[in-house]
Amino acid sequence: MATSAALSFSACKSGLSDDKLEEKIENALTGRKTVDVEVEKGKVILSGTVASEEEKQQIESIAKTAGDKDVKSIQNNIIVSAPVATTPAPIETSNNDAVLGAAVNTFMKDFPSVQASVKDGIISVTGTLEQAKIVTLKQGLDNLNPKKVDLSGIVVKK
Amino acid sequence: MSLQEKYKVLLDTAQSSGVNDLNYAEMDGVLQIRGTAPTADVKNKLWEIYGNIDPNFQTGDVVLNVDVATEVPGSQVKVITENSNLNIRKGPGTDQPIVGKAAKGEIITLISKANDQWWLVRTNDNEEGYCYAQYLESV
């Protein structure tokens, strides 16, 4: 899909700037989040990490096709690294409001100027808090693995 | 823009700075991120980046729970309270009696982790008890 689309719009144009060329190749590689593209005077530098040698070569050929005549050369610095685990364990979030609520109440004793409530795994906090303390609050609440931490009800004091 | 795009710099930095077992997924409109940072500095850097993308964490579209690898039993940890002393308690909970205090900046020993929130520590005066993990950082 990406290959044929790239061919059709690169067929009759040449002399693209590095930025445009980079954009074009990046578009062709959409979805390959672990790969980075850089272009310097028509030289395409690919970096990042992929799971197999095949994928590394495939990305190079996609980049070559997408850039067409504007590509002077390709330096493929992509590292092949076999995935450590086949599938990472699913991320767990709290699904017990009673347990989460108790942990939140314990933690919130250090923040008397704000109040927290828990519903469906979501922690909502309201009140007034100094800006410097917000990161401590958020870190502590995130450590409890909630589904969400809603701090939009906090008035931030400078 | 997907959340993974919005927080690309954060995820990329986690990857490039050696966060172990990095795991992230968008769940119910929230990007859940888990992992183990090699040092407290890396963890702090990730929080700084997160705070730059979402000032004061007002959007609430990320839950970032990153441990620090060097915070293991037997290691030294520093008390990072804002200005007060850190209470050391008989058991893991604020309902437990206070058995000692550690000063801000004091380096104490991590003995074990009762859970993510409460760690068993020993001070240099050989006081032993539980304190809140949030106020400890590896050295």
pLDDT digits (tens, 9 = 90+) for A2-31: 444 444 444 444 578 899 999 989 888 887
Domains identified in chain A and CATH numbers: 2-80 (3.30.1340.30), 97-157 (3.30.1340)
Longest dimension (CA), chain B: 54
How large a percentage of chain A has pLDDT more than 70? 87
Burial of A50 (0-12, 13-18, 19+ CB in 10 A): buried
- Tell me the β-bridge partners of A39: A44
| C-alpha span between B109 and A19 (Å, rounded) | 53
Whether B24 shows a pLDDT value over 60: the answer reads: yes
Chains A and B form CB pairs within 8 A to the count of: 78
Whether B16 shows a pLDDT value over 70: the answer reads: yes
Q: Which residues of A touch B94 (CB under 8 A)?
A: 106, 109
The mean predicted confidence, pLDDT, of chain A is 85
List, for residues A97-129, the tens digit of each pLDDT value: 999 999 899 888 889 999 999 999 999 999 999
Residue in chain A lying closest to B65 (CA): A143
Is B117 within 8 Å of A134 when comparing Cβ atoms? Answer: no
- Which residue would you say has higher pLDDT here, A69 or B83? A69
Q: Which residues of B touch A151 (CB under 8 A)?
A: 56-58, 60
Q: CA nearest A126: which of A153, A93, A158, A98?
A: A153
Per-residue confidence band for B99, with pLDDT thresholds at 50, 70 and 90: very high
List, for residues B72-88, the tens digit of each pLDDT value: 888 899 999 887 899 99
Contact in structure between B24 and B4 (CB atoms under 8 Å): yes
B123: left (phi over 0), alpha (psi -120 to 50) or beta: beta
- Alpha helices (H) in A11-130, listed in sequence order: 18-28, 53-67, 97-108
How large a percentage of chain B has pLDDT more than 90? 67
ipTM reported for the complex surpasses 0.85: no
Q: Which residues of B touch A156 (CB under 8 A)?
A: 56
Considering only CB atoms, B134 lies closest to which of A88, A136, A152, namely A136
Is A91 within 8 Å of B27 when comparing Cβ atoms? Answer: yes
Which strands sit side by side in the sheet containing B20-27, from one edge to the other? B20-27, B30-37, B62-68
Domains identified in chain B and CATH numbers: 3-68 (3.30.1340), 76-138 (2.30.30.40)
DSSP three-state, residue B35: strand
Q: Residue B71 has what pLDDT?
A: 82
Looking at residue B103, the DSSP 8-state letter turns out to be -
Q: Residue A2 has what pLDDT?
A: 46
- Tell me the β-bridge partners of A36: A47
Q: Residue A14 has what pLDDT?
A: 53
| C-alpha span between B90 and B67 (Å, rounded) | 24
Is A135 within 8 Å of B23 when comparing Cβ atoms? Answer: no
Considering only CB atoms, A151 lies closest to which of B34, B56, B64, namely B56
Q: Residue A10 has what pLDDT?
A: 45
| C-alpha span between B120 and B91 (Å, rounded) | 9
How large a percentage of chain B has pLDDT more than 70? 100
Is A149 within 8 Å of B93 when comparing Cβ atoms? Answer: no
Mean pLDDT of B23-44: 94
Which of A81, A105, A151 would you mutate first to test chain B, the one with the most B CBs within 10 A?
Answer: A151
